[in-house]
Structure 1
Amino acid sequence: MGGALQYLEEQRNARPELAEWYDAMADLYQKKLWHQLTLKLDQFVSLAIVQAGDSVIQLYHNFITDFELKINLLKLAHFAVIVSRQYSEREAAISYLEGVVEKLHATKELRIEEPILYVKMQIAAFNLEQGNQKECQRLLEDGKSMLDSMTDIDPSVHASFYWVSSQYHKSRQEFAEFYKNALLYLAYTSVESLSESFKLDLAFDLSLSALLGDNIYNFGELLAHPVINCLIGTKVEWLYYILQAFNTGNLALYRELCHVHGASLNAQPALVVNQKKLLEKINILCLMEIIFSRPSEDRTIPLSIIAEQTRLSIKDVEYLLMKSLSVHLIEGIIDQVEGTVHVSWVQPRVLGMPQIKSLRDRLDNWLGKVHTALLSVEAETPDLVAS
């Protein structure tokens, strides 16, 4: 106990601007108020001045180790991950975290899997940074098995798993998998807790992966997420409007944006390489918008109408329909003799405000027709209505 208090006293003298913090921690430590001390430490290590240099490493080895197994072990895992990020050498950081995992195993406490998994995900992240994808993949596979076997899991544990998983798939340019895991990460993370630069980078990566990911045809969920608004007012704002164009299947707007922002688009190699894929995707979304805009009782559509709006030949329209059928975006029958397609089902999706307004206008129009019909019946059979 003396060594821990002595360290706080030394730091108090060396860093008078943090004296109140060290006094408070010393007081809680002496009173053995471990929960309150944990909360105070949580606030302390989040200070920018504390995160500079190796301050947190010294705090851990000279103070926290004295009582680390007396506090909430998941909180200990959180502290350990913060400490590990201050190591300049990744090998040293991994070695440190592996030592923490051994300590956690040795406690034989219940629910020890949560803190262990949290720490292991940081080890996986460090391996990925070093280019060791194979070890990162192994840790992710083990982590998935652990997650599947647990219940009532702390959101921070879920978030750590899905973040590392998203970065693994990003490193392999697996756009759809990155997109899925990054959205799951956000589902377990408070957006307000993220820095502006982090949110902007994530919004940019999510947008690119949504555009380029196989079988991603619903952009409504992404556009409804507050993180995507970080694109507005930045140099990459054009990406936000391209997402809007894809979400509404607005082929004319997409072509205009490509013309206006050609230099920005050409600066993204992934978009340049996948131009044909992007055009096919927005044509499919244009097709879905054509179907959506028609009344449910009028879903037999001439191929010529689709060709006119997509600027495709009838042959290419047939290919577009077959592609849409194959990925289960629609269900229906193509009648080549009549030159029509009858659509019996369209995949549900999250609607944007313009689409919701269109749906509301159609509903209002239908209700207006029903009201007019009822008034007509009333006028023709007044006696029957009166009775």
Structure 2
Amino acid sequence: MSDKMDIDSGDPLTTLITLREEIEPTDDADLIGAFYKLEDLYERKLWFQLSELLENDVYKNEHSEGIRLRLFENFIMSFGDKLNQLKLVQFLLLSIEQCTPEDSLEHLKMLRQKVTDHGLKESKKVVEEDINDNEVIQALIFVEVETARVKLEMGNIDEATAMMDECQKKIDKLTSSVDNRVNASYYGTNAKVMQINGDYSSYYYSSLLFLACIENIDELGDKEDIVRKICISGLLGDRIYNFGEIITHEIFKYLKDEWLKKLVIALNSGDLEVFEQIVSSGEIQKIPELSSHIEFLKQKVCIMALIEIVFNKPTNNKTVRYSEILKSIPALKDANDVEMMVMKCLSLGLIKGHINEVSSEVEINWIQPHTMTMEQIGHMQNKMTFWSDRVKELGSYMSKAGKGLWV
């Protein structure tokens, strides 16, 4: 009881001493040492160094979890206006990880008011909409997005969606680059909205944008669950016909289900044989979402097989005969199936060209750019080498033929 009274006394140094005494020396001597450094930096008013120490030595230490919220409320907030406001929001988010959604909302609401008051003071304004401090504006957006995330957890989907729409408008109005923490929060929360709405394609894209904002994937929690959901959404997305971005991303190595990893790679390369092996093995039944969409996945892998055929064609000859397609894709039975699939590719914008029914061939003049795997890059290298050799041959021919003209 006396400890609690000491913390509530309002003296930041008393807070540090009280919390430090709660840490068992046998648990983490480094954390205790960090608290002594905090006292020193606070007394010297070295706010930047203090915030760096908090971020790297205190909040990244797992033994600080039980004291983070009290540290934030009774120590950090005492000099909150001296810190980068985005980092202040970041500290709160790390402090309320163990809180209930209701308590989290209350803490976010209180911080929002603090940041707003600071922004009004710095901008010498009286209305929030007139705040012109970019750091404060982004911090307020950060808080709003996180509030929307908590509301999603509570099941308030419509309210959270409306908040996200407003946040998007505010982000679009920013005249400077958006901080990565704000972007990560926005894309991560937006992905959750898309997941709830069953929009697999949007979930896939938002998740990739979220990952692009994370500087150190190793520090990301639930990596296995995140990459698994991204892969499933990519497979089921009706606008996703290339998986190069997730396959080449470092998070892909955290995908534990080897069969799912093989399935993603098979669809990316249009490998019908591996696809059929996975489907026939029954492993796909482990994920009901996938097992109930096998026909869709089969259509998708056939499309990717056609894309691979076109991709591997020489640059100067992108014409594919029906017979070649039927031979490479056994799932297609006749010319009608070929034409239907090609029209599907054309409508999806995966290729541009036209069908020559008279000659029973497809003439392609454009293929959608996509992220390539190392194997596909190898194919591209071979094509470039072939092209380079042809240019040399042409140069040699022109050199020899030109001699007669000069004579």
| Secondary structure class of the residue paired with 2:370 | coil
CA separation of 1:303 and 1:28: change in aligned 2, threshold 3 A? same
Distance 1:191 1:153 in 2: 18
The 5 A counterparts of 1:1-20 are 3-15=11-23, 17=25, 18-20=31-33
Alignment CA distance shift 1:377-1:37 (3 Å):
closer
Deviations, residues 82-116 of structure 1 (Å, cap 9, x unaligned): 222232x2112101111110111111131211111
Instruction: Tell me which residue corresponds to 2:376.
Output: 355
Per-residue deviation, 1:338: 2.7
Report whether the alignment pairs 1:41 with 2:41: no
Give the equivalent residue in structure 1 for 2:293: 274
My pick for the range that moved more, 197-206 or 125-134, is 197-206
Cα–Cα, structure 1 residues 341 and 19, in superposed 2: closer, same or farther, change >3 Å? Answer: closer
Per-residue CA deviation, residues 287-340 of structure 1 (Å, 9 max, x unaligned), is: 111112222333332222212211212211111011111111111221223322
**Residue of structure 1 in register with 2:168 after alignment:** 144
User: For the residues of structure 1 that align with 2:406 and 2:40, how far apart are their CA atoms?
Assistant: 84
Spell out the pairing of 1:140-179 with structure 2 (5 A cutoff).
140-150=164-174, 151-179=176-204
AA in 1 matched with 2:108: L
Report the TM-score when normalising by structure 1: 0.90
Moved more, 157-166 or 112-121: 112-121
CA gap 1:29/1:289 in 2 versus in 1, 3 angstroms: same
Equivalent residue for 2:366?
A: 345
Code of the aligned partner of 1:7: T
1:145-195, CA deviations, whole angstroms, 9 ceiling, x for partnerless residues?
111111222111111111111111122221111111111111111234434
Deviation at 1:365, TM superposition (A): 3.8
Aligned to 2:328: 309
Q: Secondary structure at the match of 1:189?
A: coil
Where do 1:1-387 residues align within 5 Å?
3-15=11-23, 17=25, 18-43=31-56, 44-51=58-65, 53=66, 55-87=67-99, 89-107=100-118, 108=120, 109=122, 110-111=133-134, 112-150=136-174, 151-195=176-220, 198-231=222-255, 234=256, 236-260=257-281, 262-263=282-283, 265-311=284-330, 312-313=332-333, 314-368=335-389, 384=404
After superposition, the Cα gap between the structure-2 partners of 1:13 and 1:302, relative to the gap in structure 1 and judged at 3 Å, is closer
Amino acid of the structure 2 residue aligned with 1:269? P
Query: Can you give the 5+ residue segments of structure 2 that lack an aligned partner in the other structure?
Result: 1-8, 26-30, 123-132
- Structure 1 portions without partners, runs of 5+: none
Q: Quick check: 2:350–2:367 contact (8 Å CA) kept in 1?
A: yes
Q: Distance in 2 between matches of 1:20 and 1:343?
A: 67
CA contact (8 A) 1:246 1:285 kept: yes
CA distance, structure 2, for counterparts of residue 136 and residue 359 of structure 1: 45
- Structure 2 Cα separation of the partners of residues 202 and 322 of structure 1: 34
Q: Is the 8 A contact 1:242 1:257 kept in 2?
A: yes
Q: Post-superposition shift, 1:141?
A: 0.8
Q: How many residues align?
A: 377
Q: Secondary structure at the match of 2:353?
A: strand
Runs of 4+ in 1 over 3 A off after TM superposition: 362-378, 380-387
**Cα shift readout 1:23-42 (whole Å, capped 9, x = no counterpart):** 21111111111111111222
CA distance in 2 between counterparts of 1:376 and 1:64 reads 76
Aligned residues: CA RMSD? 2.4
Distance 2:268 2:353 in 1: 22
The one-character-per-residue Cα deviations of 1:183-233 (angstroms, maximum 9, x if unpaired) are 1111111234434x62222211111111111111122222121111222xx
**Contact map agreement 2:10 2:74 (CA 8 A) in 1:** no
Q: Output the CA distance in 2 between the equivalents of 1:295 and 1:139.
A: 50
SS at 1:67's partner residue? helix
